[in-house]
Structure 1
């Protein structure tokens, strides 16, 4: 009987264990990227579907662990964490935004920790990112359309040297998709065509707006179904729908694409009225067919036709039309800097290093320390000796001297470490304003904790953050926690584990999209030799040390209170140009560098760190130095320094100081009083072929590594603009044994026209014959291989139709 009882008891224990295991079982399923693709250097979405087939509720954390390499000193992994409560038999979806980099089975894992991370137990795990890694210069277009193959024609562009990938946004159609800009970061364009958007979440329009403002392009189309496309996005639409009509000719689209053969009509299109800020891009028979509206660093487009409808769907020029509309999304050599001066992770080396230094904690100079040590040594030895001698107690010296030394040292340590007994934090930020109320901010935060151990930094208003170490191929998982990043509401909690005494923990927010931040108002004029104007501070807060920078030249505006204006003037040889990377070290800032003007220090806080400022400015300059950055930009920048009280350490406020660089590009106002004027040197060319032509910033110009070079000048494009004068100015090298032969493309005759060999200037007799799509001028240089050339400058004038 005893044996039977023992057997029954053992069986009961086994079955109870199996039942318990079944009740606590969690199943994970993942989908990475868009269309199974992710892009290097951009954030991508990771969808994690967590199901609980057991018979009891489960609570815990969904965790994506990524190897941090040596960025945390090899001390652990970086974990992205989401808290989740799963009812019995239920399933939930969690979305993560992760950095685009190589992922292997050994450098990351997705897990569910019952009871929380890292103290809980992982009860489900799998390698997650199974996707194709695209290069950083690939263009990715996301599509939601009634016809899943509506944008398949874009693949034709790859035969012309582009790298274009069309991905379907099937997951975005789900009601649980949050439409956060970080999840759309790898997309250059989003196309919505004849799909109902009234099923999208209520906040989709606001979040899609922030994505566009951060340098995205949104295309809204559908023809007769356009009202369905904009049902939930009416506030973003550049036009107001007014019905439909039929067009017999589509010559305007062919002209915009530079195609000689327009699609055969007829075509039913939507009729719309332009809203404020919208610009007609293509107009046929008085009907706007393509309209664009700038929004932040991006654009919203309206297309009057259904992308999958004939005759455009099978038109041979359709891909060329979209190449013109996508523009820089296709032509930038490196996606990371498509918008002017946006700061991406590739350029934050200076920012990362500067976060190690806290301006409030300054060591005494070596000379002062030496003097204090001499005074201390004299007082402890001879001072104590004479005191004891006077009292006749010289025999006490053997214990009094050490005692005085210990007490003095303790006192000096207490005084010297007074600032270091409490945790301190700081944030360094680069905020790039778009000029219409939007901005993109790159920020780093560091916290110094005297006690070490585990601690959590609460960073509000930062929707995505990571640890500086997470970039590139980070090696293999260490198997122990190093840091955890958790999204909590609209903020981020960064937890550092097992930190040593007096260590510095750092987190990084690479691309925060902001709205309602104001702008720098300005009025600029350029006559070919001087750049002058007025700058107005409409950011809502004081800016100190405001400058205007054009290439290697700068002019100081001074401090600007909110609403205050200041004038500037600087002599320049040309508009803009790349900012040399030594400018941050030559320009006078808070603490003048050698040779700088002391007047630069007025109204700067006494404890301002010029090193912080120079590092932030260097971070921005490095971004404009990356391939694909704008070659001819003029920038204004200033500083904001403040003490912030919203950072928390382990739930308690921590004193923190913020140093912020505020930057905005000053764009030349081409349209004034019904005229369009393009002064010499403002429009910089873009290389059409060869794709990797070496740029020589000192000229500025290019090297003919393949014996030929084709350039394009994109004049301001408006359907209501008529150019009446277009001129090219050349700088010839009279010493060249074989001069470079320049040619200009004649769009009307479909041929190259040579420019007279020694001519310093070329002017179009009838500009419309040479401008592709009414605004694009193409030139070609041919010469000996390895020759260096300076790109010609273009000048143009025209009128705007009333």
Structure 2
């Protein structure tokens, strides 16, 4: 068949058009591909390629552009918990010939071995690089070492916790991020013979906030004291001003339980000298010159140590027992409260973000009334009306009409009940330490939508946002840092659904004043009295304020601006440690130190803060309960408040700078303030009596059932309980005078029928205390059973096989310690 000329030209034109369309995108992409060849991208992740699950870390990106001007964003993409992609981005402008460095902060939801960095221009990736990293488990300990010579600190690899590993990250001064949240990967930080004067203002603020949040920092002196202390002077327990040669470092052996050799300590050493700062404790000093060798200062929930000699130099570098010194330092953690680490239960965080009044179901009474009205109208009333009109055949029309009418009414009432605007649910926990300029904020944001829609969340620059771990539902998230704020675009919410995010940051701390004193009555009456007052100097009104103390709480009602409340509390028992599930490593060889966690410890901190046990009966109480549980629950265990004194209170004002753009929205705000208070101690004259109320306890082992702890425990036949006690605040003493164990049972009497053993810190084994009866018992040779930090370990075992005594109830098992200063 022959084609006409006209058809041939049509086919030719159509072919040319198709080729043009196919080649168009390729020709458009060609400049980008050429630009990609002229852009180089390099990146370093974490600290010495180290990160930690559930903690922010920095990714440092270097871009170099040898092509035309480019404007786009840098994406750091990591896998989410559900296998989804999560991007953390930063906007970037790259003129021709430019070289730029930027830091992007990333929150890992789980383990991964590498991440990808992309340069994205016009929503197309034009350059990329893969970065190796290793994310440690949340139970591992990460030591950051910033030192001129890092090899002497390799011994830190031996300080593994019983339920994890020790990881040493070799760092430079410039590796310190300017956001305190990004230092969360590091449990400990060591500075040795480096110039900290190079630290920027942002880096110094981040270090101060990290230490106050529970970090532990060690700074060395020695020959390089001046440059090492240059940027850290405000944190140190000593103001170094010079150096001095001393005869030996033998006093350091008193800090080490087992000394392999003292030969190195007998050599002379050059140490940094200076005056102590306010609140500093001296742990070891040179007896000839009275100069401090090891000093410590508490800042918030953390410690800053100063070693007058440099452990990277001689003679400490050759000391075989330097590991023991590190064990002593790094095991001396502040008994911080359970909420110190922020959100630890994402299941309860999700509950809190979803606890909106608008999501609560109507009462059963209203539903029954509506259904009753519907039945009455469509049935009897409809029948009698049609019967009255003598038009019962119209039921074919009236019944469908009434069904449609009531359906419309139910839809209208549902819309009114839920509202027609999105709701931004903002919840926050604010940790305040009086005297600190900044307060740590851990926030939650829930976006409720009455219809299917996509939203964009804008978060202020003081906060860093991330998705909920283990609850990302396979969605793709992008968090874009524009410099002025963080944008989270395209958050898709279904009808009546909620999408939740977490925010971490710092805000200016509100002001609270207090005058509190803990008083010891006498050795015959070991109760502790907390007396004084608390004043709200902020512009906040704290609703349902509570004063929390070890084993006791006092309700204060509402505490308005300028108001003062009088405090009077009697403290009688030890408090469960807030470090219940914090990783630790053995401080005494032969002891596992594994922090056993009971499913129920009898701690009432959540109920004390919420104000009621009936939190399921009211949506407001349930929201509060869920928020408190989110920061006080770890692995389904209530971590408690530890041995500190705190003021808690609620407000309906949010510190979270977050909003939806450009949509109109309403807000529901709930904020919990937790203020740390530091009372003075009055011990009286002579010996120091340390009663049970000044101890915290931690269950180290348990083979019984249900509740475990030293108060109200049932030990069944053949079961055992091991508890460690520790003085809740540092108390320096010269020797132990006496140790009394208090054994009380409201059911049993006479002989305890228990094998009660105490840990001998000298011989490193449990020693059974024979023939104990219920009541008070003075332990012979007590110094053997009191370890570093006033630690006491007790093991109680029910050896009975008699049916009558098979179940032994322990209402109280604690100690009173008497020491000499």
TM-score, length basis structure 1? 0.78
The partner residue of 1:299 within 291, 300, 303 is: 303
Q: Does 1:40 align with 2:38?
A: no
- Cα deviation for residue 771 of structure 1 reads 6.4
- In structure 2, C-alpha distance between the alignment counterparts of 1:491 and 1:566, rounded to whole Å: 39
Partner of 1:61: 73
- In structure 2, C-alpha distance between the alignment counterparts of 1:449 and 1:753, rounded to whole Å: 60
Task: Give secondary structure in 2 for the equivalent of 1:229.
Answer: helix
- Cα deviation for residue 347 of structure 1 reads 1.8
Query: 5+ unaligned residues in a row in structure 2: which ranges?
Result: 1-15, 578-599, 802-807
More divergent stretch after superposition (395-404 vs 252-261): 395-404
Residues 553 and 570, structure 1, Cα contact 8 Å, conserved in 2:
yes
- In structure 2, C-alpha distance between the alignment counterparts of 1:710 and 1:219, rounded to whole Å: 30
- In structure 1, C-alpha distance between the alignment counterparts of 2:112 and 2:164, rounded to whole Å: 28
- The 5 Å alignment of 1:220-231 reads 220-231=219-230
- The 5 Å alignment of 1:660-671 reads 660-664=671-675, 669-670=680-681
Residues 197 and 231, structure 2, Cα contact 8 Å, conserved in 1:
yes
More divergent stretch after superposition (577-586 vs 449-458): 577-586
The partner residue of 1:485 within 479, 482, 490 is: 479
Q: Does 1:649 align with 2:660?
A: yes
Residues 450 and 502, structure 1, Cα contact 8 Å, conserved in 2:
yes
Partner of 2:89: 81
Partner of 1:793: 815
Residues 520 and 664, structure 1, Cα contact 8 Å, conserved in 2:
no
Partner of 1:758: 771
The partner residue of 1:593 within 614, 622, 627 is: 614
Residues 518 and 531, structure 2, Cα contact 8 Å, conserved in 1:
yes
Residues 677 and 798, structure 1, Cα contact 8 Å, conserved in 2:
no
- In structure 2, C-alpha distance between the alignment counterparts of 1:293 and 1:710, rounded to whole Å: 28
Residues 210 and 514, structure 1, Cα contact 8 Å, conserved in 2:
no
- Cα deviation for residue 215 of structure 1 reads 0.8
Partner of 1:206: 205
- Cα deviation for residue 520 of structure 1 reads 6.9
Partner of 1:112: 119
Q: Does 1:142 align with 2:153?
A: no
- The 5 Å alignment of 1:527-676 reads 528=526, 532-534=530-532, 536-538=534-536, 540=538, 541-549=540-548, 554-567=553-566, 574-577=573-576, 583=604, 593=614, 609-623=620-634, 626=637, 632=643, 636-642=647-653, 647-651=658-662, 654-664=665-675, 669-670=680-681
Task: Give secondary structure in 1 for the equivalent of 2:268.
Answer: strand
Residues 76 and 118, structure 2, Cα contact 8 Å, conserved in 1:
yes
CA 1:758/1:461 → structure 2, altered by over 3 Å: closer, same or farther?
A: farther
Query: Per-residue CA shift, 1:532-585, capped at 9, x if unaligned?
Result: 544514362221212345677644232222343334566765132378579588
Partner of 2:755: 739
Task: Give secondary structure in 2 for the equivalent of 1:182.
Answer: helix
Task: Give secondary structure in 2 for the equivalent of 1:316.
Answer: coil
CA 1:153/1:363 → structure 2, altered by over 3 Å: closer, same or farther?
A: closer
Partner of 2:233: 234
- In structure 1, C-alpha distance between the alignment counterparts of 2:26 and 2:728, rounded to whole Å: 78
CA 1:780/1:623 → structure 2, altered by over 3 Å: closer, same or farther?
A: closer
- The 5 Å alignment of 1:673-684 reads 677-684=689-696
CA 1:678/1:32 → structure 2, altered by over 3 Å: closer, same or farther?
A: same
- Cα deviation for residue 745 of structure 1 reads 3.6
- In structure 2, C-alpha distance between the alignment counterparts of 1:178 and 1:80, rounded to whole Å: 16
- In structure 1, C-alpha distance between the alignment counterparts of 2:276 and 2:101, rounded to whole Å: 40
Partner of 2:171: 169
Residues 741 and 754, structure 1, Cα contact 8 Å, conserved in 2:
yes
Task: Give secondary structure in 1 for the equivalent of 2:102.
Answer: strand
- Cα deviation for residue 179 of structure 1 reads 2.7
Residues 52 and 135, structure 2, Cα contact 8 Å, conserved in 1:
yes
CA 1:423/1:756 → structure 2, altered by over 3 Å: closer, same or farther?
A: closer
Partner of 2:367: 369
Query: Per-residue CA shift, 1:488-522, capped at 9, x if unaligned?
Result: 4475333344433343221012x545553345734
- In structure 2, C-alpha distance between the alignment counterparts of 1:274 and 1:281, rounded to whole Å: 12
The partner residue of 1:417 within 408, 415, 418 is: 415
Residues 576 and 603, structure 2, Cα contact 8 Å, conserved in 1:
no
Residues 245 and 269, structure 1, Cα contact 8 Å, conserved in 2:
yes
Q: Does 1:342 align with 2:340?
A: yes
Partner of 2:324: 320
- Cα deviation for residue 456 of structure 1 reads 0.8
Residues 741 and 778, structure 2, Cα contact 8 Å, conserved in 1:
yes
Partner of 1:187: 186
- In structure 2, C-alpha distance between the alignment counterparts of 1:205 and 1:644, rounded to whole Å: 24
- In structure 1, C-alpha distance between the alignment counterparts of 2:703 and 2:70, rounded to whole Å: 55
- Cα deviation for residue 140 of structure 1 reads 1.6
- Cα deviation for residue 168 of structure 1 reads 0.9
- Cα deviation for residue 144 of structure 1 reads 1.2
Residues 211 and 217, structure 2, Cα contact 8 Å, conserved in 1:
yes
Task: Give secondary structure in 1 for the equivalent of 2:628.
Answer: helix
Query: Per-residue CA shift, 1:212-267, capped at 9, x if unaligned?
Result: 11111222223232221122333223332222212113232211223555411311
Query: 5+ unaligned residues in a row in structure 1: which ranges?
Result: 1-5, 597-606
- In structure 1, C-alpha distance between the alignment counterparts of 2:412 and 2:615, rounded to whole Å: 36
Partner of 2:65: 52
Partner of 1:494: 488
- In structure 2, C-alpha distance between the alignment counterparts of 1:634 and 1:296, rounded to whole Å: 13
Residues 429 and 444, structure 1, Cα contact 8 Å, conserved in 2:
yes
Q: What is the root-mean-square deviation in Å for CA atoms of aligned residues? A: 4.8
Residues 741 and 755, structure 1, Cα contact 8 Å, conserved in 2:
yes
Q: Does 1:124 align with 2:127?
A: yes
- The 5 Å alignment of 1:355-504 reads 355-360=353-358, 362-375=360-373, 410=408, 413-414=411-412, 416-418=414-416, 420-437=419-436, 439-460=439-460, 462-469=462-469, 482-489=476-483, 491-504=485-498
Residues 248 and 268, structure 2, Cα contact 8 Å, conserved in 1:
yes
Query: Per-residue CA shift, 1:717-754, capped at 9, x if unaligned?
Result: 466x54563424153997676734435445xxx78896
- In structure 1, C-alpha distance between the alignment counterparts of 2:512 and 2:46, rounded to whole Å: 34
Task: Give secondary structure in 2 for the equivalent of 1:341.
Answer: helix
More divergent stretch after superposition (737-746 vs 377-386): 377-386
More divergent stretch after superposition (485-494 vs 213-222): 485-494
CA 1:412/1:163 → structure 2, altered by over 3 Å: closer, same or farther?
A: closer
Residues 345 and 635, structure 2, Cα contact 8 Å, conserved in 1:
no
CA 1:208/1:317 → structure 2, altered by over 3 Å: closer, same or farther?
A: same
- Cα deviation for residue 470 of structure 1 reads 5.1
